[in-house]
Amino acid sequence: MGLRTAQSSRGMGASLLLVGLAATLLSFVTGATLGAVKSPATPLQPLDQAALRVMSFNVRVNTASDGDDDWAHRRDLVPATIRFHQADVIGVQEAYRGMIDDMQQRLPGYRWFGVGTSDGKDDGACNPVFWRESRLELVTAETIWLSRTPDSPSTGWDGAYPRTATHVVLREIADGAEFHVFNAHFDHEGEQARLESARLLAARVKALAPDARAILMGDFNCNEHSAPLQTLTRDAQLRDARDVSSTPHYGPTGSFTGFAGPQYAGAWLDHIFVRNLVVQQHGILPDHFDGRLPSDHFPVLAEILLQ
């Protein structure tokens, strides 16, 4: 458990003709390969170099039942996605300790905090928060069980499994600006558990100082119109980063695909909420590697200014 240490005119005409034919062929092949993917296959680019790039990423548990999509085939893809999109803070869900070790090995320059949901140590899925240590430092950290006994390992209400939210306070090394990060994973079966989890976290955020900067992200297993997410926006004055981004949303509208492929479909279960923060960009990233997806969820990325 805990904190771990965790890139002649005749000749010219013939050349131009060859270039044109190559470009046409490349365009044809690219279109045939990408199929339904219509957005440019490029990462979001910083509008402001001071912006903080925040990612929520459900990386899917390690289970042999996934066959060719099990963790052994994805352990390089998840860190590669994080590195390519230059995330500064990552809220990860469904990561067992061995998966975290794999990620840490492939993500030099990041540190993390989190505990297993089952015992508060290393047993059970973990929802760790990673941060770039060249830019940020840890101030405080805690784990909140989403249950009637939030300070100890437990299953809440009608939930199928123990669920947690990891809460860290991070500080910008350059200017000392601090902000709260909550990384949560709501239950996939318990309707009451999801609603009560939202109430619990809304109360935690509401209890912060009025001017405190806060990010709440994760896999909420419900959409933007559901009672749990409405509770977060109503009771804690949180706003979905997609709704308040100063530029249009990038990518598909859904974040869960179940390994179905990089098409723009699926439920929007993964969100990044903010309070007292400016959002420059928001995207859901349908990255894939020769058709293989890093996870059964697309990562969600928001570019944020600490103002």
Answer whether residue 139 shows pLDDT above 60.
yes
Instruction: Render pLDDT for 225-276 as a digit per residue (tens, 0 to 9).
Output: 999 999 999 999 999 999 999 999 999 888 988 877 655 557 889 999 999 9
Angle, alpha carbons 153-155-159 (nearest 5°): 155
Alpha carbons 106 and 230: distance in angstroms, whole number: 37
- In the predicted model, what is the mean pLDDT of residues 46-65? 87
Instruction: Render pLDDT for 60-74 as a digit per residue (tens, 0 to 9).
Output: 988 888 889 899 999
Residue 20: which pLDDT band, with cuts at 50, 70 and 90? very low
Alpha carbons 279 and 50: distance in angstroms, whole number: 12
- Residue 256's pLDDT is 84
CA distances to 9, 82, 221 from 78, in Å: 50, 6, 21
Q: How does the average pLDDT of the chain come out, rounded?
A: 86
Instruction: Render pLDDT for 26-46 as a digit per residue (tens, 0 to 9).
Output: 333 333 333 333 344 455 665
| CATH 3.30.1360.30 is the classification of domain 43-305 | no
Domain ranges in the chain are: 8-37, 43-305
- Residue 163's pLDDT is 96
Which SS3 state, helix, strand or coil, does residue 133 take? coil
Answer whether residue 5 shows pLDDT above 60.
no
- In the predicted model, what is the mean pLDDT of residues 209-213? 97
Q: Cα torsion at 233, 236, 240, 243 (round to 10°)?
A: 60
Query: What's the number of CA atoms in the CB half-sphere (13 Å) around residue 116?
Result: 12
- Residues whose CB is less than 8 angstroms from the CB of residue 167 and which lie 6 or more positions away in sequence, other chains included: 141, 142, 143, 144, 180, 181, 182, 183, 204
Answer whether residue 178 shows pLDDT above 70.
yes
- Residues whose CB is less than 8 angstroms from the CB of residue 224 and which lie 6 or more positions away in sequence, other chains included: 240, 268, 271
Reported pTM:
0.84
